[in-house]
Amino acid sequence: MHFFKVIKSIVKPILFSTIFAVAMVSCKPSKHNTSGKNSQSETKVIKTGKPSEDKAQQVINSARSYLGTHYKYGGTTKSGIDCSGLVCNSFKTIDITLPRTSTAQSEYGKSVKIGDVREGDLLFFSDNKGGNKINHVGLVTEVKSNSVKFIHSTTKMGVIEDDLYSDYYHPRFVKAIRIIN
């Protein structure tokens, strides 16, 4: 029995190394054209991945990947996130680093009139109707003639999309900012 254990301990690593080497060689692309055909006539351009999205759509798609994520004060992950963390993470996908709080984010970009907002803009809110102390932020996801949808993280429902012109959010709206030109 001892003899077979010794043989097994020697053969097993060699067998594994051989299989691994064969697998690696078989996956390596060939440098030579063995088909006998002109390789230039068979050259095809293969596009991989999705077509390039514009920056606003990339930010929106990133934010939407958090839909349903629970709210967590100071959170920045899919196990829990707050409103400004959602915005920070979403803009990181296009290599823009924003300040961490909604108040600081509200001072970052260019102010935009409410009637001129577009997808990718940020909306800032106060807890109080008619207040001007910013403590909440959302990202515009869709603009139509009679509605402006935005995504944000709420304390009760987590990451959801709402309408700016709802009875709750419109009276609490403070300002809009454009980060992406």
Residues identified as active-site = 83, 136, 152
Measuring CA to CA, which residue among 151, 162, 165 is closest to residue 115? 165
| Identity at 137, one-letter amino acid code | V
CA distance 179 to 91: 9
| DSSP letter (8 states) at residue 118 | -
Distance of CA 88 to CAs 3, 8, 12, 156, Å? 63, 55, 50, 21
Give the CA distances from residue 133 to residues 46, 104, 111, 152, 156, in Å, rounded to whole numbers and listed in that order: 52, 12, 16, 18, 21
